[in-house]
Amino acid sequence: MAERANSHSDPHASRTQPRTRDRDREEAAARIRHLLETEGEAVHAQASVSNVRRAQVYEETDDLEELRTKARAIKEDAIERLPELIETVREAVEANGGTVYVAEDAADANEYVANVVEDAGGESAGGTTEATSDATDATGASGPTVVKSKSMTTEEIDLNDTLEREGADVYETDLGEWVLQVADDTPSHIVGPAMHLSRAEIADLFTERFDPDEPFETAEELTRFARDYLGERIREADIGITGANFVVAESGTLTLITNEGNARKCAVTPDTHVTVAGVEKLLPTVRDLEPFVDLIAKSATGQPISQYVTLLTPPVESPTLDFASDEPIAELEDEDEDGDDREFHLVLLDNGRTAMREDDQLRETLYCIRCGACSNSCANFQSVGGHGFGGETYSGGIATGWEAGVHGQDSAAEFNDLCTGCSRCVDACPVKIDIPWINTVVRDRINRDAEPEAYDALVDGLTPNAETGGLDPGKRFFGNIGTVAKLGSATAPVSNWLADAGPVRDLLERTLGIDRRRDLPTFQRECLVDWFEKRGGEAASRRRADRAASRGDAADVDREAVLYPDVYTNYVDTDRGKAAVRTLEALGIPVRVPDLPESGRAPLSQGMVATADERASALYGAVAEDLDAGRDLVVIEPSDLAAFQREYERFLPERSFERLREHSYEVCEYVYGLLENGGDPTALSTSAALAESDDRGDRGDPIAYHSHCQQRTLGLEAPTTALLERCGYELRTSTAECCGMAGSFGYKREYYELSVDVGERLATEFEDAETVVASGTSCGDQLEGLLERDVPHPIEMIAPER
Amino acid sequence: MATDTVGRFERALSDLEVGFERVAAADASERIASILEAPAVGTELPYDGVSQPDGVTTEPTAAELAAAETGVTPASFGIAEYGTVAIESRPDGDEPVALYPDFHVAVVAASDVVPDLGAAFERLEGHLRGAKSLVFATGRSATADMGDLVHGVHGPGAVHVIVLEDR
Ligand code: SF4
């Protein structure tokens, strides 16, 4: 990976690049703006509903975790045994009377299918003259007629183009795919491919194209028309092409999952059936299908099960349907052996998948069952859809893995930055893929392949040795935000005045891509660590904790805490740090606030994996003694806690990781635990209602609370809501998955408008709320900007005054 | 226990807006005749003492299939948990008969209604290993691709399940 760094030798190129990068940002911003305006609304309407339904049905499914764990294990095993499974399925399909072809790449697969189609067309021309002439009337062409059910894999290889070039008439029969075919458009979602088009747009398109007596208006009319039109195409078809959701190796059974019923028709009506499926669709046994059949509709649309789960073991025994014949369709005893009049081809597509399997980071992508839950749960996806958040074929969070694997890194580079690592998809994915990690790794690879540029000198001092190559200077700046903040704090308030000055903002925008519409953080002259030392450090803290104990306020536990001074708490938002210190002391916990290394969250967001890895080791080294001494690491910023508890698993030895995970806590989770263990809530600054009446008859002060995306994924929203309620507040929580700010994302010029679009959905939920609190720095910043008011951390609501 | 399972099956079907009734095998033919919309096609009902009523064309031609309003087929089994009927792809055409007409009537023996997906897979294993094909059909064909939820796209827009309580 690293050698590429020296491959750029043209000095001219590097001189002209900065302007290019600036222009690239402008173009990216324009593209996103256009999608927000034209497609965002329609995509959001459907994707967000599917996401809510998915969350509901997950909630109602008692054995959900068991199913996900099982599904994951089956996939791991299947991909491990892939070469063997290919041989097993070949034997099974051939024994049944079908053919298996393993296609190396798109061209190979297309050529094979084109030949099958040509043969099938030829046969039908010779056999049933009448049917052929029907087809000619209907289509004005004489090539074979192909009907298809929805298949992203055939989109991946552009099969339709090939077949049409060869003279076939190809009809998509999934209504969404057919709409795209009529519109000459591409899928914007892996499950609902035409999600970006509204009913009105489809009605206009169809009215123009098919010129009905009355213009189309309702979905009902459009659906009926589609049913009739496509029904005729299916009846006259020479060949049916389907994808497969799963392929069972031991029996040669295909699983097709649809709600419309078109895949059933395409598979069994014509006498020739071709299935194109990625090799990763193979599962060893029939029994292995069970958790997937149970999960896939739940994760995709929130339905308990899809309408049609078709389990075909071709060639099937169902009679073929020849609509020109007046013989009974049934194939009774005197006919040939079962299924003998049918032809079946299973085309297993490699197209990069074998290489993905051998790639330790991309392998997980092959476990994907393409349910689209990661798209639906993604705030950025909901706003721009798959035409923005997607590559050549695939879209949404996992598309980075798929595109990098099947179309190459360049296709992934187009949209990879749209994953902010919020991790909401992690809970949604039925096979537990760490989608944010795949995005981080691919971003790292893209960074390393990029060319360095002239402005790099500006941020060169920030680049640790771990990162080589032409990392975008903006990325380097944000990836090293700790150093920036330290400098900013040391030189405050001058740094703040400077940062606000017009020419400086202009420079920041052009070089680092920091959007000038965004307020920059205001650095504090005195950082949290210095404040704590000045106030008497650990010794003073112990005295305060002891006083609380002697008042009887303390929790009945013998603990000591190390408060983690994350970059923002330490240099920018020191108030929440001070609030945390006071709260812990008031409940009898002595606190330390040492100067600790950065968590690595910032470089992780920028795809600087090696830097993050170094930070993880440094951080662990710095807290190891505290952990050994039995102290708890209390963390305010959820994204840093998420680094300790999720990503560090990849950087630290297992024992170190487990140790840190076990002893690190989100601050409100920790405080709630203290109250549960006898800490006295009245020692805190509680809502008036609790103070005034013990029986809580009065309602407390209302509070609107937005948890943090990564905090939710850690399952840590509940302790904060419980804590605030315990302290007498009447709570309302947000439904929006993410605030849209996501660390540096909302600062970047190309993403500013998208970030605001996402943030506004959250802000709208809280518009009329009197008090709004948020756990994350980013969430707070975003909400403060949009609601134009203070948005403190929950700990600031409950901290005692002094 | 079987009664509970059938009761659960009934509730799931009602959530799916699928018609449901329990009848004695001896009355099944008459009940089918009274609910179908003509023209109707069907396949052989493999239950003791049950046959398709006169109004149902068995061994239809493709044209009769295309023109039919109702298709009557047996279901190999039902899954109570989800309100699913399993239709096997037999040579006499259960799959197209259950799929093409707008109204599908599925006939299932009470003893073939299994509680959940796990139990269904136990049956399925035998089927698929024997190179059979079947479909788990749950509710009515549906799409939201035209901008709103519509039933009856490529598959049936209405479904009715008849449980033979003594079979
Ligand atoms: S990565 Fe997971 S959530 Fe996303 S499409 Fe694949 S299986 Fe579904």
CATH number of the domain that A196 lies in? 3.40.50.10420
Count the Cβ atoms, other than its own, within 10 Å of residue A517: 13
Structural contact between residues A783 and A791, judged by C-beta atoms closer than 8 angstroms: yes
Structural contact between residues B19 and B106, judged by C-beta atoms closer than 8 angstroms: no
* A202 close contact with B: CB closer than 8 A: yes
Note the pLDDT tens digit of each residue in A689-708. Answer: 555 555 544 567 889 999 99
Structural contact between residues A625 and A441, judged by C-beta atoms closer than 8 angstroms: no
B109 phi and psi angles, rounded to 5 deg: -75, 140
Looking at residues A424-444, what average pLDDT do you find? 95
Number of domains in chain A: 3
Is residue A124 domain-resident? yes
Q: Are the beta carbons of B155 and A308 separated by less than 8 Å?
A: yes
Count the Cβ atoms, other than its own, within 10 Å of residue A488: 23
* Nearest-10 Cα torsion for A715, A717, A723, A724: -170
Confidence of residue B3 (pLDDT cuts 50, 70, 90): low
Note the pLDDT tens digit of each residue in A366-405. Answer: 999 999 999 999 999 999 999 999 999 999 999 999 999 9
pLDDT at A464: 52
Domain boundary residue among A334, A351, A368? A351
In short, whether A436's Cβ falls inside 6 Å of ligand 1 is no
The structural domains of chain B, with segments of one domain joined by +, span: 5-164
If one looks up domain B5-164 in CATH, what number appears?
A: 3.40.50.10420
Instruction: Please tell me whether residue B140 adopts helix, strand or coil conformation.
Output: coil
Judged against a pLDDT cut of 60, whether residue A611 lies above it is answered with yes
Instruction: Please tell me whether residue B118 adopts helix, strand or coil conformation.
Output: helix
Specify whether A154 is located in the same domain as A191: yes
Half-sphere exposure of A627 (CA within 13 A, CB side): 19
Is residue A476 domain-resident? no
Specify whether A292 is located in the same domain as A376: no
Q: Within the 62-101 window of chain B, which residues sit less than 8 Å (CB to CB) from chain A?
A: 62-63, 65-66, 82, 84, 89-96, 99-100
Specify whether A602 is located in the same domain as A727: yes
Per the prediction, chain A carries an average pLDDT of: 86
* Packing angle of the helix pair A82-96, A64-80 (nearest 10 deg): 90
Is residue A503 domain-resident? no
* B3 close contact with A: CB closer than 8 A: no
Q: List A255's β-bridge partners, or say none.
A: A246, A311
Specify whether A217 is located in the same domain as A280: yes
Instruction: Please tell me whether residue A394 adopts helix, strand or coil conformation.
Output: coil
Q: Least CB-CB distance to A264: which of B62, B84, B99?
A: B99
Higher pLDDT, A469 or A214: A214
Note the pLDDT tens digit of each residue in B149-158. Answer: 888 888 899 9
Judged against a pLDDT cut of 50, whether residue A30 lies above it is answered with yes
Indicate which residue's Cα is closest to atom 6 of ligand 1. Answer: A368
Specify whether A662 is located in the same domain as A775: yes
pLDDT at A333: 47
Question: What contacts A536, CB < 8 A, 6 or more positions away?
Answer: A543
Count the Cβ atoms, other than its own, within 10 Å of residue A122: 12
Specify whether A333 is located in the same domain as A245: yes
Structural contact between residues A710 and A639, judged by C-beta atoms closer than 8 angstroms: yes
Q: pTM for the whole thing?
A: 0.88
**The amino acid at A542:** R
Confidence of residue A324 (pLDDT cuts 50, 70, 90): confident
Indicate which residue's Cα is closest to atom 2 of ligand 1. Answer: A429
Specify whether A200 is located in the same domain as A287: yes
Question: What contacts A432, CB < 8 A, 6 or more positions away?
Answer: A68, A69, A72, A426
Note the pLDDT tens digit of each residue in A328-370. Answer: 887 654 444 445 678 999 999 999 999 999 999 999 999 999 9
Specify whether A346 is located in the same domain as A358: no
pLDDT at A369: 97
Specify whether A129 is located in the same domain as A34: no
Note the pLDDT tens digit of each residue in A235-264. Answer: 999 999 999 999 999 999 999 999 888 888
Instruction: State what percent of residues in chain A have pLDDT above 70.
Output: 86
Is residue A696 domain-resident? yes
Confidence of residue A472 (pLDDT cuts 50, 70, 90): confident
Range of the domain at A570: 528-798
Q: Are the beta carbons of B133 and A332 separated by less than 8 Å?
A: no
Tokens coding A24: 């690239």
Question: Residue written as tokens 């005045």?
Answer: A497
In short, whether A398's Cβ falls inside 6 Å of ligand 1 is yes
pLDDT at A5: 37
**Nearest ligand 1 atom, CA A401:** 1
pLDDT at A461: 52
Structural contact between residues A403 and A392, judged by C-beta atoms closer than 8 angstroms: yes
B103 phi and psi angles, rounded to 5 deg: -120, 120
pLDDT at A15: 41
Specify whether A603 is located in the same domain as A648: yes
Is residue A423 domain-resident? yes
Domain boundary residue among A351, A372, A393? A351
Specify whether A413 is located in the same domain as A534: no
pLDDT at A505: 66
Is residue A360 domain-resident? yes
Note the pLDDT tens digit of each residue in A150-184. Answer: 999 999 999 999 999 999 999 999 999 999 999 99
Note the pLDDT tens digit of each residue in A515-569. Answer: 777 777 777 788 999 999 999 999 999 999 999 999 988 888 899 999 999 988 9
* Nearest-10 Cα torsion for A252, A253, A256, A257: -140
Specify whether A394 is located in the same domain as A311: no
Rounded Cα–Cα distance for residues A750 and A738 (Å): 19
Is residue A567 domain-resident? yes
Domain boundary residue among A404, A431, A449? A449
Rounded Cα–Cα distance for residues A574 and A534 (Å): 14
SS (H, E, C) A137-196: HHHCCCCCEEEECCCHHHHHCCHHHHHHHCCCEEEECCHHHHHHHHHCCCCCCCCCCCCC
Confidence of residue A11 (pLDDT cuts 50, 70, 90): very low
* A253 close contact with B: CB closer than 8 A: yes
Is residue A640 domain-resident? yes
Note the pLDDT tens digit of each residue in A59-117. Answer: 999 999 999 999 999 999 999 999 999 999 999 999 999 999 999 999 999 999 999 99
